[in-house]
Amino acid sequence: MTRTWPLLMLAALAACGGPTREDEANLAAANDVDTVIVPEEDAPETAPDEDRDPFDRLGPVRIGARAADLRSAGVAIRTDEPLPGSTCSYARITSLPDVFLMLDGPVVTRIDVATPTHPTLGGLRVGQSEAEALRRLGGRAVVQPHPYTGPEGHYLVVHEAGAPRGLIVETNGKTVQSYRFGNWEQVQWVEGCA
């Protein structure tokens, strides 16, 4: 029975959606097997598919999508009114309250992220060290002084000459504070819609 217990446990766990890290360790102990459990914080990062444009979407939202199309697809968003004399406004996705969408009229032109929930190019996340961000960007970033907090604070800019989209990562010189990506013209706007 001692040898069949681990197999029964594994079958039961598989039926319940898979083993947890604790279950894996218990199963290995029962089988006298050495195993290494990778802590969550050391697990590989999930990043956007590098074969496509990494600056064209976040979750269900694609740069160039219309607010009405997002709503029709079941994405609940709240939009602000544009400033007087402007077509620029912001929207928020109800299910992703930490993500801001910049709109030009009804069209998504830029996505702003200020929490670690959503990785971008190379698995870069808000909260990572600037050095780690630069490593993850793999030499694609140009470091520039942040317009308000420089020379300590930086912009890590990823944009190929003539490309329609790009990424700006904001740091305080030590850690990533936020990032924004999308249509290059709007990504460069320091004050958002203002």
Residue 50: inside a domain? no
CB 69, CB 129: distance < 8 Å: no
Question: Pick from 87, 93, 57: which is nearest to 181 by CA?
Answer: 57
3-state SS assignment for residue 46: coil
H helices, E strands: number in the chain:
5, 10
**Together in a domain, 94 and 14:** no
Per-residue model confidence (pLDDT) at position 53:
58
Q: What is the extent of the structural domain holding 106?
A: 57-187
Residue 25: inside a domain? yes
Per-residue model confidence (pLDDT) at position 2:
45
**Together in a domain, 181 and 88:** yes
Q: Is 76 left (phi over 0), alpha (psi -120 to 50) or beta?
A: beta
Which residues does 193 contact at the CB level (< 8 Å), separation at least 6? 82, 83, 86, 88, 89, 90, 102
Per-residue model confidence (pLDDT) at position 88:
93
Per-residue model confidence (pLDDT) at position 29:
35
User: pLDDT 10s per residue in the chain (194 long)?
Assistant: 444 333 333 333 333 333 333 433 333 333 332 222 223 333 334 444 444 556 888 888 899 999 888 888 888 888 788 888 899 999 888 888 888 999 999 999 999 999 998 888 888 999 999 999 999 998 889 999 999 988 899 999 999 999 999 999 999 999 999 999 999 999 999 988 87
Per-residue model confidence (pLDDT) at position 79:
79
3-state SS assignment for residue 91: strand
Per-residue model confidence (pLDDT) at position 71:
85
| Helix residue ranges per DSSP H, 1-60 | 4-15, 21-30
**Together in a domain, 107 and 179:** yes
**Together in a domain, 30 and 64:** no
**Together in a domain, 182 and 97:** yes
Per-residue model confidence (pLDDT) at position 120:
86
CA atoms within 13 A on the CB side of 130: 19
φ/ψ of residue 148, rounded to 5:
-110, -35
Q: What is the C-alpha separation between 90 and 85, in angstroms, rounded? A: 15
pTM above 0.85, yes or no: no
**Together in a domain, 86 and 18:** no
Per-residue model confidence (pLDDT) at position 159:
93
Total domains in the chain come to 2
Question: Pick from 169, 120, 163, 118: which is nearest to 141 by CA?
Answer: 169
Residue 193: inside a domain? no
3-state SS assignment for residue 98: strand
